A and B are shown apart, each in its own frame.
Chain A
C-alpha cells in the first residue's frame, strides 16, 4: 500500500527556520517524483515544485523559487521542504503528493500545518 506520512504540526515565529518531512512507503520511492502543494487558510491548492528522488532534480514554481528548498534522502525514503527564514504569510497546510506516470498526483500525504506568528 502506497503511503505518504508527513511530519506533525509546527508553530514557529517569523524569522525562524523550519524543515518538514514526507516519508514514502509501499512503492519504489526513487522512481516517482514528489510534489509539494501549499494550501493557505481558506484558499485553494498551489503547486510549489517537484523533486525526482533518484537524482534530486528539482523544479520550482516561479512563485516559490528562492523561498523554499526541496530535498530528499533516498536511503530514508523521505522528502523535505525547508525554509531558512519564515514569514507570517507562510502560514498554511503543506501537502506532499506522489506524481504518477502521466503527471497527475495519485497519492497524497495527510498534510503538515505550519503556523507562523509575527
Chain B
C-alpha cells in the first residue's frame, strides 16, 4: 500500500506564509486533499482536487501538486489556523482504497 509522508511539526509567525507538504508515490496519479483538525474536534476538509476550497474555507488556504508532492499553503496565517493538518489521497493499491499522511502540527507564533 501507499504511504504519505508529512513533517511532524511546522511553525509560522502570525501573518506570514507557511507551506505544509505531503510526499508519496500516489500523488503522481491523484490529487491530495487536506484536512484541518483543531484540538478536540473532528477534521474539516480545507482543500480538495486541483486547489478547490469547500464553501466557508478562507481563501488564504490554497493547494498545489507537483510530481510526488502535494502542498497546502496558508498565506497570512492567523491564530485560529493553529491545528493539525492531514493530507489524504487514493492508495495506488486499489481503486477504493485511501491513505492519510501522518499529520503536521502547525503552531502560529
Contact = CB atoms under 8 A, between A and B. Distances in A.
A95 B49 contact: no
Interface residues on B, range: 20 to 34
Interface residues on A, range: 20 to 34
Residue of A46, A102, A104, A109 most packed against chain B (CB within 10 A) = A104
Interface of A: 33, 35, 37, 44-47, 50, 59, 61-62, 95, 97, 100, 102-111
Interface of B: 1, 30-31, 33, 35, 37, 42-45, 48-49, 54, 84, 86, 88-90, 94, 96-103
Contacts of B90: 103
Nearest to B31: A102
Contacts of A33: 96
B33 A105 contact: yes
